[in-house]
Structure 1
Amino acid sequence: MNDESSKNRILDCALTLFSTRGYDGVGIAEICAAADITKPTLYYHFSSKEGLYKALWQEKFAPLRHSLTAAAVYRPRPEDYHHDVLPVLAGIIVVYSDFAQAQPAFFRLLSSLLFAPDGSPASVLAREYRDFQFDLLLSLFTDIARAHGNLAGKEPLLAASFPGLIFSNISLGATSRYDAEALARQFMHGIFS
């Protein structure tokens, strides 16, 4: 097995284990056994369990970062409901849904980050990815609030609650493009939508 395939195998096995049992529930010996490698091989590619976890996040989160950044652009059209906020929110939902279908194990890991205690090793190691999502959505809702003054002051709450709605619906199987628009409407208008 060459270096690159060995590294990828370690990442794949670690992802499977971390996504099913959490960071704290997995040891180096288990990762080595699953990847059929020795500890020195793991340490050759990654300096530690922490280094492996960071590398996993760096590699697997990159496509989502790119897609979310492209989707979270608001172009104000308050006079046209169907081309204002709705398509941006639905587009973000679709990005997460598509990502969950393409990378189900990593999406489970990402979802678990929403509920990880702040001081836990997993939360500390993946904080930049959680913060990226919050900051991106905060910026988006700040832009939206400029066109829709009634949202002013609510941007942090919206940025924090929107992913929760998305992630819970994806975990329940609501992933079609129709569901994305319906979910965006529900977020925008509440239970009476």
Structure 2
Amino acid sequence: MATARPRRVDYSESTRKALVDGAVVLFTERGYAGTSLDEVCKRARVTKGALYHHFSGKQGLFEAAFHAVEQDMLTRLSEIVSQPGDVWETSLEGLRAYLRVCLEPAYQRIVLHEGPVVMGYEAWRRAEERFSFGLVRTAVSGLIDSGLIGEAPEEPMARLLFGALAGGATMIAAAEDQKKASEEIGRCIESVVSGLRALKETGWPNCAVTTGQ
């Protein structure tokens, strides 16, 4: 027999969500340094005590906001790359969708600009591995399993494409004309991926590194 959820659990979850949602808005608009916990509490309509019940402080709240933005991106892109149909086209559409996400203010400010500074570079990279890299690896795995890019080594290929996308995201966030930068990066990465498809016909070269005397 199913039991009803205690009302205090629902209230606690809704309070946490209100705090994170408010933090995403304020961190996006004002940045980490320009946002106070009092402002977040006011926006969420909760007490500061309620905030400290869920988070250790400002950095803990920022990390929750960071994960919320990343999870939203992951959910949206996963829906695209997991659609039935042409694996090649869905993979390319996932790539294009990611570059569109890089134009969104919350992703730019919280993930690309503030994340490495507030969380520290190593923690930020681990978080990126958890979200973005997993998605890239899934897409690469699908292309390999479908025979579209030949017998590529999955892990190195996913790492290389992830590096290209991460570098492209940073370039977009720093560009004067971000839309133009996004379009140019998209064309470049699609050209690289299309080149991988051509290797199916010629086979993978022997890339062993040798040293001469």
Pairwise TM-score range, normalised by the shorter structure? 0.5 to 0.7
2:71 to 49, 62, 74: 62
Greater gyration radius: 2
Pairwise CA RMSD: 4.5
> Does 1:168 find its partner at 2:171?
yes
Question: Is contact 1:11-1:56 (8 Å) kept?
Answer: yes
Look up the equivalent residue of 1:89 and give its one-letter code. L
CA distance in 1, matches of 2:15, 2:121: 24
TM-score by length of 2: 0.55
CA distance in 2, matches of 1:89, 1:111: 22
Structure-2 residue corresponding to 1:79: none
Gaps of 5+ in 2: 1-10, 196-213
CA distance in 2, matches of 1:16, 1:123: 25
TM-score by length of 1: 0.59
Structure-2 residue corresponding to 1:80: none
1:1-193 alignment, distance < 5 Å:
10-16=19-25, 18-19=27-28, 25=33, 30-33=36-39, 35-36=41-42, 39-73=48-82, 85-97=88-100, 99=101, 104-112=105-113, 116=116, 120-121=119-120, 124=123, 127-145=126-144, 147=147, 148-149=149-150, 151-152=152-153, 153-166=156-169, 168-169=171-172, 172-174=178-180, 182=187, 184-188=189-193
Higher normalized contact order (CA 8 Å, seq sep 6+, divided by chain length): 1
Question: Is contact 1:100-1:107 (8 Å) kept?
Answer: yes
**CA positional deviation for 1:69:** 1.6
Look up the equivalent residue of 1:110 and give its one-letter code. V
- Matched-pair identity in %: 21
Look up the equivalent residue of 2:78 and give its one-letter code. T
Question: Is contact 2:87-2:142 (8 Å) kept?
Answer: no
What count of residue pairs does the alignment treat as equivalent? 175
